[in-house]
Structure 1
Amino acid sequence: MKPVFPVEKTIRERSSIRSYEPRSLTPEETELFHDFIKTLNNPFSVDVSFRILESSDALKGEKLGTYGVIKGARNFIGATVPDCDLALEALGYSMEHLVLYAVALGYGTCWLGGTFDKSAFSHVMDLKEGDLFPVISPLGYPTGKKRPMESIIKWTAKSDQRKDWKELFFQDDFSSPLAKSDAGDFAFALEMTRLAPSAVNKQPWRVVKSQDAYHFYEAKTLKEGKNSVDIQRVDVGIAACHFGLAAAEKKLPGEFKKLPVPEIKTSSEMKYLFSWVLHS
């Protein structure tokens, strides 16, 4: 299905917004997002549940909080997923699709992993036993004025920088970088993948082109704490969303599938997740 917004323009316009006008979405705006959520799916056939939350949704009088990282936001996107194979990747894929839709409409968003009050948010998300709830995003009206804290966060995360092609995309094995000319029509989808956001901008995805497939790997660079999830799998899902939307816009043939682990020599921190398989 062709995206309902221009993919490249929207991806390039997306940035992490941390300062918002202190006003809530109108009921009509909230309904607009609920309608779009009903259309969302992901290529991993995992059921991702979304809720549009109000900051005033309180637990024992305590408002939902983000430890000072976000200022002024009155609404948040919360997403949960049952703990199953490719669950986190599916959540990243579906939620990034929703985030890009919001950006295309002019709203501000910001992926948040470890910087929100998970206990308070979890209560208003009505989590089922075994559900994963790794991330949220504010959803609202950007102020256009950055706070000093915002500049510091952006600088420390190097969020304006992205890895070069040769560090992310490979031909047949991890010792041979993939040239843009060898990617052909898929060079656009890979470039959109390169621009995807990730936790502290680690860009933990690697893609190996081999015969009629693009194999996606997680390059694990962050350690999850006790009782926490591997947030970098969400990041790979976000990157896959960029690839999938770009491929759909250009009507490139293929689909995401989980295959038997490819016979490609990898290091211990590299984990195969799924592939984009070209249709003949």
Structure 2
Amino acid sequence: MRSAIENRVSRRKFEKEPITDQEKEKIIFLTNQLNEASGLTMAFMEDGSGAFQKLRKSYGLFTNVRSLILMKGKKEEKDLKEKVGYYGEDLVLAITDLGLGTCWVGGTFDKDELTIDSGEELACVVVVGKVAVPSLTEKMVRSATHRKVKSIAERIISDQPLPQWVQNGMKAVLLAPSAKNTQKAIFKYENNILSAQIADDYSMDLIDLGIAKKHFEIGAGGKFEFGNGRIFHLS
């Protein structure tokens, strides 16, 4: 999984060729596994291109979007958005291992083109596809939207030198995607207790918190409690 963290890049330009039936089956299998573990209702959609056809000039400049994963769950699900980020990033990294490209998408798609049950909430989508060679436009978008990665010191508050396991976790956090690359999730290591929190003043913030927690766990080992400001338990 570590290699997937390092290899994953948000992609907005895809090949016209759809993913194979074998790749589709693997994604559906992985999605079902994670739904069972999480209580979410994430769903693979083979052709969700209609949600992007009216938005070609929007932020992100997506090209040849076809397959999507609907990142959703029951409205009453506790910590829904955080779980979408946490378990969704597990899925994104697994798809990266399949050699496919992905991108988390929060608002630049037409939700009216995507059907979900009335008792569910669609938090966002993940686009999936065969990766095209990056165009000049995509490189420019990536350069404009991916500002300098913040340092570990900018992402964690500590009252003591960081032990190696915390450093390992934070190195993985620095590779985590976040909405508009804001990198807002903040970690604290005080009194030998590590926690993570986010401002939660933007629709994608709690999703980003879940993603960051997942990356920390992969780097450090151990398990986070769900909830904004909750603590981490080292294995």
Q: Distance in 1 between matches of 2:23 and 2:89?
A: 19
Q: Distance in 1 between matches of 2:25 and 2:82?
A: 26
Identity of aligned residues (%): 24
Contact 1:23 1:74 in 2 (8 A): no
Matched, 1:80 2:69: no
Q: Distance in 2 between matches of 1:134 and 1:40?
A: 16
Query: Which residue is 1:136 aligned to?
Result: 125
- Equivalent in 12, 16, 38 of residue 10 of structure 2: 16
RMSD: 2.3
Query: After superposition, what is the alpha-carbon deviation per residue over 1:36-59, rounded to whole angstroms, capped at 9, x for unaligned?
Result: 2233269xx7522121113367xx
TM-score using structure 1 length = 0.74
Q: Distance in 1 between matches of 2:98 and 2:213?
A: 22
Shift of 1:32: 0.9
- Give 4+ residue runs of structure 1 displaced > 6 Å after superposition: none
Between Structure 1 and Structure 2, whose CA radius of gyration is higher?
Answer: 1
Aligned length: 229
Report the 3-state secondary structure (helix = DSSP H, G, I; strand = E; otherwise coil) of the residue aligned with 2:230. Answer: strand
Q: Distance in 1 between matches of 2:181 and 2:232?
A: 23
Q: Distance in 2 between matches of 1:56 and 1:171?
A: 44
- Equivalent in 152, 155, 162 of residue 165 of structure 1: 152
Q: Distance in 2 between matches of 1:41 and 1:170?
A: 33
- Equivalent in 105, 108, 116 of residue 98 of structure 2: 105
Matched, 1:30 2:3: no
When residues 194 and 41 of structure 1 are mapped into structure 2, their CA distance, relative to the original with a 3 A threshold, is farther
Query: Which residue is 2:62 aligned to?
Result: 70
Structure 1: runs of 5+ lacking an equivalent: 1-5, 58-62, 173-177, 225-229, 260-271
Q: Distance in 1 between matches of 2:135 and 2:127?
A: 16
Query: Which residue is 2:225 aligned to?
Result: 257
Contact 1:77 1:139 in 2 (8 A): yes
Structure 2: runs of 5+ lacking an equivalent: none
Query: Which residue is 1:51 aligned to?
Result: 43
Higher relative helix content: 2
